[in-house]
């Protein structure tokens, strides 16, 4: 009660702002001051704000709802309680972007001077408004450090016990010590201080080549005050310094104290855990047990690489490469067992494996495509192959498919003729079951064997479906079944009870709707890529999507996948099973915002698709 009665704190307004992005980042005093500068206005449904007719200000929706639309009246965003817009900031380049009240709204209006003062004084606050929503999302998806293991500190890689000698030691003593320790350098110390370094190369070019006597003190050939690196530097820093200066040894200091040495071969060794090496390693294993042991390290690898900054699409590429390798290795082992194949064949991967978008915990989705030259009697061999591989995959940690989409099922193990007939049947009568099967089937990739077979089947399928709008409409209806878990006013819709209370399935409600949506557009326009990002690229090239829409979709996809793997990594790090359930409350506010933005884009794209196929639905 000590405050000035003529400058009261507007508690009701401050309490509200405190829960709004990015006001939540402001210190209390700035928040209170901002609350005092608010002007409150009320607008009826239908009112429009535009850069032409309204002043430059930040407008915050206190209650009601507002839509942001482009000059062509395309919906760009829906804003609910607590969300804000600056119509001048959204309408960069006078494109005619406008905001329309779609529900009677109380709008808090922060005049330009105060808005700009907050932006000037508070970096986080400012950053939020740098650009409009989709650009904000793009930054989130794309411009995060793409550093992989490179950002891990060198501390874990250095040799802590480097070979050291005093400056008085002779060339011969140095050479003997280096040979004994099997190292390629020696650090020259004066007490605790690093004085110089002598490397293999120095012994060669500065001593042997010049014919220096063996008892010459190493002080004469050492590099004085050598380049060094701090203990807290990253792997990236070390590699950069070595390549820039053309050196292979870097003493590591912690303050003034010598902590160790790092060499270019340490850096090579560091890559032992690199997933690329893992693939190589897997392809040499002789049985499922040994492979399983390697697969079991994947969860901890995932946690590591995410910490190191690897992006979701890179991770899923790697994990797909790994499951491909396991599959191929199992087929090779089967052939060793069963004898050579009686006819050419192709092992097919479906779903996320086909798309190159596998993550931890993926189950099997596979099939077997056999050349028509195979006779009835040959089919038994392929059945045995199918069981060997599918059982092996299960043992290696890729569980059997619940939907029986596996080469062990007769329907998913056929000669080309048979496959074609099956496809024809599905497309002629698009029952919900057939539609579901086909949508699995469109994501198809040759994992092992003759890719030509796979291509022929794929072409047949595209021929049957590309012009078949009835079928496409049935597929669209199936696709639109699952919607992003956003309710009205963009609140997350979570499970109300059960094991996953307050969570939602980010794969089912976020990833799959996008994959489905991108697939159906690809199908309708004869795009043959299977990976979702590649499909989007081709759809943009074919001008099915504008660059902006295509990028927005890609960023939304990347954002959702990224949050999904990060969620899995969090679960694994906490000792839980990786799952696709995510509690939005576990996310920092900005990521929650990004996720909402991404879901909004998914939702809008679904709307567009729904309109496109309206007649057929």
Partner 1 sequence: MATGLKLTLQRIWWRHQARHPALQALLREPIQQRPFNASRYVVIDLETTALQPTAGEIASIAWVVIEQGAIHLNQSCYFHLALNREVGQSAVFHQLTDTDLEQGVNIKVALEALLDALPNSILVFHNAQLDMGFINQAMRTLWGAPLLMPVVDTLQVERKRLLQRSAAIQAGDLRLFQCRQRYGLPDVSLHDALGDALATAELWLAMNG
Residue ranges in contact with partner 1 by CB under 8 A:
1-2, 5-6, 8, 10-13, 15, 35-44, 62-64, 81, 103-104, 106, 109
DSSP annotation string for 17-86: HTTSTTGGGS-HHHHHHHHHH-EEEEE-TT-EEETTTS-SEEEEEEEEEEEEE-TT--EEEEE-TT-EE-
Chain mean position to CA 72: 33
Smaller CB distance to partner 1: residue 15 or 254? 15
Q: Is 376 helix (H, G, I), strand (E, B) or coil?
A: helix
In the complex, minimum distance from the CB of residue 9 to partner 1, in angstroms, rounded to a whole number: 8
Smaller CB distance to partner 1: residue 37 or 469? 37
Smaller CB distance to partner 1: residue 46 or 246? 46
CA 408-392-288 angle, to 5 degrees, is 170
Counting Cα atoms < 13 Å in the Cβ hemisphere of 155 gives 6
Parallel, antiparallel or unpaired: strands 366-370 and 581-582 = unpaired
What would the two tokens of residue 176 be? 């003997």
Helix and strand element counts for the chain (H, E): 25, 19
Chain mean position to CA 262: 31
Smaller CB distance to partner 1: residue 105 or 559? 105
Q: What are the residue ranges of helices labelled H in 442-546?
A: 451-466, 469-479, 506, 512-524, 532-541
Contact 256, 191 (CB under 8 A): no
In the complex, minimum distance from the CB of residue 109 to partner 1, in angstroms, rounded to a whole number: 7
Q: 234: which DSSP letter?
A: B
Burial class (CB in 10 A: 0-12, 13-18, 19+), 50: middle
Closest among 240, 239, 241 to 268, alpha carbons compared: 239
The length of the chain is: 617
Place of tokens 């295509």: 550
Tell me how far apart the alpha carbons of residues 96 and 70 are, in angstroms, rounded to a whole number.
Answer: 6
In the complex, minimum distance from the CB of residue 492 to partner 1, in angstroms, rounded to a whole number: 20
Closest among 106, 108, 100 to 47, alpha carbons compared: 100
In the complex, minimum distance from the CB of residue 101 to partner 1, in angstroms, rounded to a whole number: 10
Tell me how far apart the alpha carbons of residues 567 and 554 are, in angstroms, rounded to a whole number.
Answer: 20
Smaller CB distance to partner 1: residue 40 or 463? 40
What would the two tokens of residue 463 be? 């021929």
In the complex, minimum distance from the CB of residue 67 to partner 1, in angstroms, rounded to a whole number: 17
**CA 241 → CA 29, 226, 235, distances in Å?**
46, 12, 10
Smaller CB distance to partner 1: residue 35 or 174? 35
In the complex, minimum distance from the CB of residue 103 to partner 1, in angstroms, rounded to a whole number: 7
List Cβ neighbours of 574 (8 Å cut-off, separation of 6 or more): none
Smaller CB distance to partner 1: residue 36 or 201? 36
The CA dihedral of 82, 55, 122, 128, to the nearest 10 degrees, is 50
Smaller CB distance to partner 1: residue 42 or 277? 42
In the complex, minimum distance from the CB of residue 119 to partner 1, in angstroms, rounded to a whole number: 19
In the complex, minimum distance from the CB of residue 8 to partner 1, in angstroms, rounded to a whole number: 4
Parallel, antiparallel or unpaired: strands 185-190 and 39-43 = unpaired
In the complex, minimum distance from the CB of residue 128 to partner 1, in angstroms, rounded to a whole number: 22
In the complex, minimum distance from the CB of residue 42 to partner 1, in angstroms, rounded to a whole number: 4
Q: Round to the nearest angstrom and report the end-to-end CA distance of the chain.
A: 64
In the complex, minimum distance from the CB of residue 30 to partner 1, in angstroms, rounded to a whole number: 15
H-helix or E-strand containing 505?
A: strand 504-505
In the complex, minimum distance from the CB of residue 15 to partner 1, in angstroms, rounded to a whole number: 8
In the complex, minimum distance from the CB of residue 397 to partner 1, in angstroms, rounded to a whole number: 51
Tell me how far apart the alpha carbons of residues 301 and 322 are, in angstroms, rounded to a whole number.
Answer: 12
In the complex, minimum distance from the CB of residue 82 to partner 1, in angstroms, rounded to a whole number: 10
Smaller CB distance to partner 1: residue 18 or 227? 18
Smaller CB distance to partner 1: residue 54 or 566? 54
CB contact burial 360-372 (16+ within 10 A = b; e otherwise): bbbbbbbbbbbbe
Smaller CB distance to partner 1: residue 43 or 49? 43
Smaller CB distance to partner 1: residue 40 or 488? 40
Smaller CB distance to partner 1: residue 62 or 507? 62
Q: What are phi and psi of 131, to 5 degrees?
A: -155, 175
Chain mean position to CA 258: 39
Smaller CB distance to partner 1: residue 16 or 412? 16
Closest among 231, 79, 254 to 153, alpha carbons compared: 231
In the complex, minimum distance from the CB of residue 600 to partner 1, in angstroms, rounded to a whole number: 22
Tell me how far apart the alpha carbons of residues 24 and 16 are, in angstroms, rounded to a whole number.
Answer: 10
Tell me how far apart the alpha carbons of residues 23 and 614 are, in angstroms, rounded to a whole number.
Answer: 42
Smaller CB distance to partner 1: residue 380 or 488? 488
């Amino acid at each position: 009660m000590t405050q000035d009665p003529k400058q009261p704190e507007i508690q009701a307004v401050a309490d509200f702002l405190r829960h709004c992005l990015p006001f939540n980042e402001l210190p209390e005093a700035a928040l209170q001051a901002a609350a005092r500068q608010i002007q409150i206005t009320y607008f009826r449904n239908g009112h429009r704000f535009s850069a032409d007719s309204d002043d430059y200000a930040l407008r915050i929706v206190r209650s009601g709802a507002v839509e942001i639309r482009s000059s062509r009246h395309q919906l760009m965003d829906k804003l609910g309680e607590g969300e804000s817009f600056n119509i001048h900031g959204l309408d960069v380049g006078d494109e005619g972007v406008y905001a329309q009240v779609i529900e009677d709204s109380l709008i808090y209006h922060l005049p330009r001077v105060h808005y700009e003062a907050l932006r000037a004084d508070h970096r986080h606050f400012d950053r939020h408004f740098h650009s409009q929503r989709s650009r904000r999302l793009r930054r989130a998806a794309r411009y995060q450090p793409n550093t992989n293991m490179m950002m891990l500190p060198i501390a874990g890689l250095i040799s802590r016990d480097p070979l050291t000698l005093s400056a008085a030691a002779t060339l011969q003593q140095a050479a003997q010590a280096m040979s004994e320790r099997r190292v390629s350098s020696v650090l020259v110390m004066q007490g605790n201080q690093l004085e110089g370094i002598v490397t293999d190369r120095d012994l060669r070019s500065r001593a042997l080549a010049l014919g220096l006597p063996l008892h010459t003190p190493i002080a004469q050939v050492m590099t004085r005050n050598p380049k060094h690196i701090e203990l807290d530097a990253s792997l990236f820093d070390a590699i950069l310094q070595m390549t820039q200066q053309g050196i292979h040894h870097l003493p590591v200091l912690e303050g003034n104290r010598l902590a160790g040495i790092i060499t270019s071969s340490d850096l090579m060794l560091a890559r032992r855990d690199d997933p690329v090496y893992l693939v190589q390693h897997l392809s040499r294993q002789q049985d499922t047990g040994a492979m399983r042991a390697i697969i079991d390290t994947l969860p901890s690898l995932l946690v590591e690489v995410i910490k190191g900054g690897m992006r979701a699409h890179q991770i899923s590429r790697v994990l797909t490469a790994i499951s491909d390798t396991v599959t191929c290795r199992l087929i090779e082992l089967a052939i060793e067992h069963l004898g050579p194949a009686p006819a050419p064949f192709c092992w097919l991967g479906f779903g996320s494996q086909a798309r190159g978008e596998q993550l931890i915990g993926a189950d099997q989705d596979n099939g077997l495509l056999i050349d028509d030259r195979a006779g009835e009697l040959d089919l038994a061999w392929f059945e045995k192959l199918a069981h060997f591989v599918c059982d092996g995959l299960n043992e290696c940690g890729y569980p059997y498919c619940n939907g029986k989409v596996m080469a062990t099922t007769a329907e998913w193990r056929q000669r080309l003729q048979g496959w074609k007939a099956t496809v024809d049947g599905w497309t002629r009568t698009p029952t919900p079951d057939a539609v579901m099967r086909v949508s699995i089937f469109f994501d198809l990739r040759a994992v092992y064997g003759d890719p030509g077979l796979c291509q022929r089947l794929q072409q047949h399928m595209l021929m049957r479906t590309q012009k078949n709008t009835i079928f496409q409409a049935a597929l669209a209806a199936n696709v639109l079944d699952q919607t992003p878990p956003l309710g009205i006013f963009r609140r997350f819709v979570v499970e109300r009870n059960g094991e996953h209370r307050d969570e939602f399935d980010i794969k089912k409600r976020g990833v799959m709707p996008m994959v489905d949506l991108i697939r159906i557009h690809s199908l309708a326009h004869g795009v043959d890529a299977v990976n979702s990002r590649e499909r989007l690229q081709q759809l943009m090239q074919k001008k099915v999507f504008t660059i902006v829409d295509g990028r927005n979709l890609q960023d939304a996809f990347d954002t959702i996948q990224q949050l999904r793997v990060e969620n899995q990594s969090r679960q694994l790090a906490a000792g839980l099973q990786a799952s696709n359930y995510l509690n939005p409350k576990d996310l920092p506010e900005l990521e929650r915002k990004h996720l909402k933005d991404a879901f909004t884009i998914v939702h809008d794209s679904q709307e567009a698709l729904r309109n496109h196929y309206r007649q057929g639905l």
